[in-house]
Amino acid sequence: MDEKEIERLLEKFDKSTLKDFKLSQDDFQLAFSKREAAEPDQTPQPTEVVTSNGTRPVQNGQEQQSQTANSSQPVDDNVAEITAPLVGVIYFAPSPDKPVFKKQGDQVKKGDVVCVIEAMKMINEVKSDVTGTISNVLVKDGSMVEYGQPLFQVTKG
């Protein structure tokens, strides 16, 4: 990959809503990030992106924070979780200039879109499988989520 191709990728990355970008080609690796230095890296290693083998390394504080949030709150039969149906980057709004689909305190019905996950340049809607009130948002907008990772807690009813 030559310098012009890298500059073109960087320009496109700057104009996009992506927070992180990693490219791995043979023995060449390239990574861009719009995150602040203090924010932990929340992207998988390039080999995982390429192979999609389902491995799940704990490499950032975000996953540990969501587990802490889950364990510090009593989860009873009245609380359900909406989980990620695939690996990708989560966005709470359809685009940066649009309002969020759902936020903490909002009512949600079964089948309502609560967020989208971008994976392999495809935008996938995440729909609620329960009716109730969103009581807790467990991930940050623009962060990388894993398959089955809890995204929202919903108080049923």
Q: Where are the domains of the chain?
A: 75-156
Q: So what's the pLDDT on residue 35?
A: 72
**87-114 average pLDDT score:** 92
CATH class of 75-156: mainly beta
Confidence of residue 106 (pLDDT cuts 50, 70, 90): very high
Q: In angstroms, rounded to a whole number, what is the distance separating the alpha carbons of residues 92 and 100?
A: 5
pTM of the model as a whole: 0.53
pLDDT recorded at residue 76: 65
Mean pLDDT of 134-139: 93
pLDDT of residue 36: 64
Give the C-alpha distances (Å, rounded to integers) separating 93 from 31, 88, 97, 142.
25, 15, 8, 10
At residue 129, the pLDDT reads: 92
